[in-house]
Copies of this chain bind each other. A is one copy, B any other.
Amino acid sequence: MLSKIDLSLTISKDEYKREFKQLGLELGELQREMKDLKIPVAVIFEGWNAAGKGTMLNRVLQSMDARGFNVQNIKAVLNEDEYYRPFLWRFWRKLPEQGKTTFFDRSWYRRVTNERIDQLVGEWTTAYNEINNFEKLQTDGGMVLIKLFLHISKKTQKKRFEEIQKNTSETWRVTEEDWRHHRQYDDYVRVYDEMFAKTDTQHAQWTIVEAEDDRFATIKIFRTLINTFKRRIEQEKQRLVNMPTKDAGITTTNVASMVDRMNLTLDISKDDYKKEMRELQTKLREYQHELFTKRVPVVVAFEGWDAAGKGGVIKRLCENLDPRGYDVNPVAAPNDVEKAHHYLWRFWQPFPKAGHIAVFDRTWYGRVMVERIEGYCSEAEWRRAYSEINDMELQWSTFGTIVFKFWMQIDKDEQLRRFRAREIDVYKMAKITDEDWRNREKWDSYKIALDEMIVRTDTGYAPWTLVEANSKLFARIKVLRTMVERFKQLL
């Protein structure tokens, strides 16, 4: 691909001056419109060293309102926080919120291409898949993603390196590493061609920028941004006009669900419970230490009916753990900042450092349960969510994460008993709200959503465990035992 690019394209100084001013004004205006429409934008600058990424970037920034963008410089070396987390974690943290623009000077492609060159092939096919899924997820979520590749010839690169080195105050800018990469120019051409082939997708196309003439390159970049913004603004306005009316929810009569087949009479005696709980907690503590030394991250996700006993299980699970090694993340309605990001964004933030445990009290499955049922997202959105969630869990698992997902099942009568008990217990009164009663009325809708969720997201790498929870004691033992057994098998 790169060898076919015509690098002789230029533009005259006069034309450039005229165009630059006009395009700059237009870009600034479009940025304001994008902001009003709350569209997030990510622009990535990839390309050869000395192709002029910094210069181009600066020219673009000049036209934009500095309060609406930030620049992320992606280094080759990972810091400790990044090193101990899945590949894309650090990019999730740097993504723009709605209405803002993030410019990436190098991006998630940096590590992959470097590793290809150095023949660290172990992970790269996975990495391209993860990247494609990541980009699709972001653009499906409303983000504009512009991928620029600044191209110059090997000869030009050499000339520019030499010029920089002649300038004594800038000599430091060209390193030994740069010269090594220069000598590998042809290898990189192959790697970049492969990168384009694998990641030039419909939702996130590459734009190759002929960068031998910096004026030509600048104008091309401006035009690319302007055209993309215009198209997106048009689309967004259309979408707002055609906004579908809210889903009326799932209407249904009584349905047979897989959870109806669960044996909710399962129980355990108080004595057995005490004994076994002590043993399981001790083992969990030992495994926690093993997880830490082996640097295995663990995610424990709890879903279930209101009053199914999630809080009680979490308490027993953590009771004997080293508090420095786990975090419990309660998931409530999203706040301002979370709302201004992709719905999965807030679950990436607390991803545990390798060796640590992150417990989620309610999870990303809210998208296909409460958000589906209450019509907080469109049908297209929750339908897409199953594969988005599967992808996310696959990334975690590929990184070595042990993922537990527990569904806490009680029947409708048991829920009623617990609601009533909460209403009269001074210590538990706070735990029962009108919303709980409202949710209860939608029991059958939840069952349908639940069945679909389990079927579509029960994967080998992140299986669901259905927990019979009419007996709180039985449920607690089952959860802890499931964890201990899986640790035994996997560690």
Q: Quick check: which of A55-63, A142-150, A241-249 contacts chain B, the rest being far away? A: A55-63
Closest to A359 in B: B66
Q: For the complex, is A324 an interface residue (Cβ under 8 Å from B)?
A: yes
Closest to A429 in B: B32
Q: For the complex, is A286 an interface residue (Cβ under 8 Å from B)?
A: yes
Q: Is the CB of A58 within 8 A of B324?
A: no
CA–CA, A80 to B54, complex, Å? 25
Closest to A322 in B: B54
Q: For the complex, is A463 an interface residue (Cβ under 8 Å from B)?
A: no
Q: Is the CB of B324 within 8 A of A71?
A: yes
Q: Quick check: which of A119-127, A268-276, A312-320, A397-405 contacts chain B, the rest being far away? A: A312-320
Closest to A69 in B: B328
A321 to chain B, nearest CB (A): 8
Q: Is the CB of A25 within 8 A of B324?
A: no
Residue from A54, A67, A169, A337 having most chain B Cβ neighbours under 10 A: A67
Q: For the complex, is A330 an interface residue (Cβ under 8 Å from B)?
A: yes
CA–CA, A58 to B281, complex, Å? 13
List residues of chain B with CB within 8 A of the CB of A67: 311, 328-330, 361
Q: For the complex, is A430 an interface residue (Cβ under 8 Å from B)?
A: yes
List residues of chain B with CB within 8 A of the CB of A32: 430
Interface residues of A in 313-371 (CB under 8 A from B): 314-315, 318-320, 322-324, 327-330, 335-337, 359, 361
CA–CA, A79 to B81, complex, Å? 9
Q: Is the CB of B62 within 8 A of A29?
A: no
Q: For the complex, is A439 an interface residue (Cβ under 8 Å from B)?
A: no
List residues of chain B with CB within 8 A of the CB of A430: 32, 36
Q: Is the CB of A58 within 8 A of B320?
A: yes
Q: For the complex, is A305 an interface residue (Cβ under 8 Å from B)?
A: no
Interface residues of A in 9-58 (CB under 8 A from B): 25, 28-29, 32, 36, 54, 57-58
Q: Is the CB of B79 within 8 A of A323?
A: no
User: If the complex has contacts A65-B311, A323-B54, A323-B103, are A29 and B427 also in contact, measured as CB distance less than 8 A?
Assistant: yes
Interface residues of A in 273-304 (CB under 8 A from B): 286, 289
CA–CA, A470 to B178, complex, Å? 48
Closest to A66 in B: B328
Q: For the complex, is A214 an interface residue (Cβ under 8 Å from B)?
A: no
CB < 8 Å neighbour of A58 from B319, B327, B427: B319
Q: Is the CB of B29 within 8 A of A323?
A: no
List residues of chain B with CB within 8 A of the CB of A330: 66-68
List residues of chain B with CB within 8 A of the CB of A70: 327-328
User: If the complex has contacts A32-B430, A311-B67, are A319 and B62 also in contact, measured as CB distance less than 8 A?
Assistant: yes
Closest 7 CB pairs of A and B: A67-B330, A66-B328, A73-B324, A336-B336, A335-B336, A71-B323, A337-B337
Beyond the given pairs A32-B430, A61-B323, A62-B315, 7 more chain A to chain B contacts, judged by CB atoms under 8 angstroms and listed by A's residue number, are: A29-B426, A54-B324, A66-B314, A66-B315, A66-B359, A71-B327, A79-B79
Q: Which residues of A contact B (CB under 8 A)?
A: 25, 28-29, 32, 36, 54, 57-58, 61-62, 65-68, 70-71, 73, 79-81, 103, 105, 169, 286, 289, 311, 314-315, 318-320, 322-324, 327-330, 335-337, 359, 361, 426-427, 430
15 contacts between A and B (CB under 8 A): A29-B426, A54-B322, A54-B324, A61-B318, A61-B323, A62-B319, A66-B314, A67-B328, A67-B330, A70-B327, A73-B324, A79-B81, A105-B323, A169-B286, A169-B289
